[in-house]
Structure 1
C-alpha cells in the first residue's frame, strides 16, 4: 500500500481534531504507522489512510507512576480496553499540588510518539478528579468514534477498486 499523500492527510477531520479513543485502538494501529509520517507522531486508525490521527484524548486510571527521571514523570494509564499506555509529563509541569495519586482517574491529552516500538503519550494536559458523568460522556463519544471508524473501514472494503 502506498503512503497517503500529504494533502489528503491535511484535509482529514481526524487529523485536525482531538480524537477520543480507546488505548487498544491506538496500540492496534502500531502496525499501520506510515514511515513517511512517523516523525510527525501521526498514525492511521485501523490502517485506514483516511483516518490520520496525531492528537488524542483518553480517560483512564493511573496504574503506575515512575518518578525516577530528572526531567520527566511517566504515568501508566489503563482505560479498561485491555491495553495501557505510558504518558510522559515534563517534571516542571507537575507539582505536588497537581500530582495525581496512584489509582486516580484522569483525562489525558497529548501527542503520540513511538518509543522503543511502543506508543507513548507526550502530555499536553492532565486533568484530575474526572466526575463520573464526564467519564460516561467520554466513553459514549469514544464508542461513537470507534463505531464510525470501524464502519468506514468495512465500507471501504466493499467499494469497487478503480481500474
Structure 2
C-alpha cells in the first residue's frame, strides 16, 4: 500500500494538527514511542516562531467502573469529569515536553476536551484509540507591537 499522506501543516489561525501521542492507561505520562512525533512538532514551532497554539487533550469514553448504587446519569457525569481532567493533564504534559525542548511557555495554551469531541466510534478499540489524541491548533501570532497596556498582542 502507498505510504500515508503527510500530516497537515500549521501556518494560519485555525489550522489543526492532530497528533497520535500515546499515554499509559489512565495516566498523563507520555510514552517514549511518542517522543519523535512531539519532536516534529517542536521543529515546526521553532521554524514558525511567531505561532501561538492551543493543545487540546481528548480521551475515549472509558474510565472508572460504575458504582453499584450509582445511577447511569451520575456515572456518566463522573466519567465526563474524570476524562476532562485526564485530557487536561495530558495536554499539560505535552506542553511541558515542548517547553523543555525550547518552545516558549507563553506560546502554548492547554485545554481538556475529555470525551466530548470524538473523531471515531467509541464502540471499537480502533475507534477509541483514534479518540485518544492531542490536537495542536493555531490560535494567534506573537507580535512585537505593544498594546495600550504594554503587553504583547496575540
Q: Which of the pair has the greater relative contact order for Cα pairs under 8 Å at 6+ separation?
A: 2
Larger Rg: 2
- Asked if TM exceeds 0.5, the reply is no
